[in-house]
Chain A
């Protein structure tokens, strides 16, 4: 079970948000997006295995992100937590959502472990690596490490996140979805 339908729906939500906020070009400024959504970001050193948290307190939205992680990883975490605020605010109300190691890969979605996380990862991927921006780049061979690394730098994401994104896009296109 790969939750393909839910992933695509989450991507569409990210795309709609980017359009509404007039987000353009790359790299995407996720901190600014959070600000525009009224979400307060706090950067705090956490245990290495904790990536971030999302919660609402006294009506204010918060994201906490691990200061000890690489900037590109923090950008993915912030996007992932933005997704929780946008997609799952009702389910999360009165609770603190804690993300341990966030997987930018497929392993999690294929186990069907947690729909929220699958949706948040799909949303974050579209926000940071918009399908339309990647399409402009043309055909990308996911096995071309240098090319993947170069694109990762352009979009300010980890190479791992970029590789997964490219794989997912190819998969989706070949599915005719």
Chain B
């Protein structure tokens, strides 16, 4: 029970540490490396792209031809190791048959604090949330409408 719980709670920084150790190993083996840890915004964007692509049963190559990138680039984008430009975000949304590019944009961007966002009371106070998560929830609550 305890170990299961711990494994779900590993902070992202630990994962990155491991990733970086892996990169060091690559340097030692003389392989090409990616020098920077992936920016969480692009990782989140990439995950959303990959999840939607799989939902549509598209391969990375299918998606690549729809957005006009190479398959390798799409793989990098999905991993969060390649940054995308705004027009590409729009292309990805269209290629993934989404009504709005917003559905691919990570919440930390969508949820830029709005001045009039209502402060909301959380029902489940036992769930520990970070300050960022609370801000996001406030903003989402403030911005939703039918």
| Contacts A64-B140, A69-B51, A70-B54 given; does A95 touch B107 at CB 8 Å | no
Q: Digit string of B124-146 for contact with A (CB within 8 Å is 1, else 0)? A: 10110100110011001100101
Report the separation of the CA atoms of residues A114 and B8 in the bound assembly, to the nearest whole angstrom. Answer: 18
Within 8 A of A (CB), among B97-126: 102-108, 110, 120-124, 126
B45 touches A45 (CB 8 A): yes
B140 touches A67 (CB 8 A): no
Within 8 A of A (CB), among B1-23: 1, 4-5, 8
**A residues contacting the other copy or chain, number (CB 8 A):** 37
User: Is B44 at the interface (CB under 8 A from chain A)?
Assistant: yes
User: Is A116 at the interface (CB under 8 A from chain B)?
Assistant: yes
Within 8 A of A (CB), among B66-116: 102-108, 110
B126 touches A114 (CB 8 A): yes
B146 touches A95 (CB 8 A): no
| A54 and chain B: residue at smallest CB distance | B123
| Contacts A45-B105, A47-B107 given; does A97 touch B123 at CB 8 Å | yes
Chain B positions within 8 Å of A92 at CB level: 123
Chain A positions within 8 Å of B107 at CB level: 44-47
Chain A positions within 8 Å of B104 at CB level: 45, 67
User: Is B48 at the interface (CB under 8 A from chain A)?
Assistant: yes
User: Is A168 at the interface (CB under 8 A from chain B)?
Assistant: no
Across the interface, B124 reaches (CB within 8 A) one of A48, A111, A116, namely A116
Chain A positions within 8 Å of B29 at CB level: none
| A95 and chain B: residue at smallest CB distance | B123
Report the separation of the CA atoms of residues A121 and B44 in the bound assembly, to the nearest whole angstrom. Answer: 26
Report the separation of the CA atoms of residues A96 and B117 in the bound assembly, to the nearest whole angstrom. Answer: 14
The listed residue with most B CB atoms (<10 A of its CB), out of A47, A48, A101, is A47
Q: Digit string of A57-91 for contact with B (CB within 8 Å is 1, else 0)? A: 10010101001111100000000000000000001
Across the interface, B48 reaches (CB within 8 A) one of A45, A62, A95, A101, namely A45
A67 touches B122 (CB 8 A): no
Q: Digit string of B39-50 for contact with A (CB within 8 Å is 1, else 0)? A: 000001101100
B126 touches A60 (CB 8 A): no
Nearest first, the 6 A-B pairs at minimum CB distance are A95-B123, A97-B123, A68-B47, A96-B120, A45-B48, A71-B55
Contact surface of B with A, Cβ cutoff 8 Å = 1, 4-5, 8, 44-45, 47-48, 51-52, 54-55, 102-108, 110, 120-124, 126-127, 129, 132-133, 136-137, 140-141, 144, 146
Since A42-B140, A44-B102, A98-B129 are in contact, a sample of 15 more A-B pairs with Cβ atoms closer than 8 Å, ordered by chain A residue number, is A43-B103, A45-B103, A45-B104, A47-B44, A57-B141, A64-B144, A68-B47, A69-B51, A71-B55, A95-B123, A96-B122, A96-B123, A99-B124, A110-B1, A114-B126
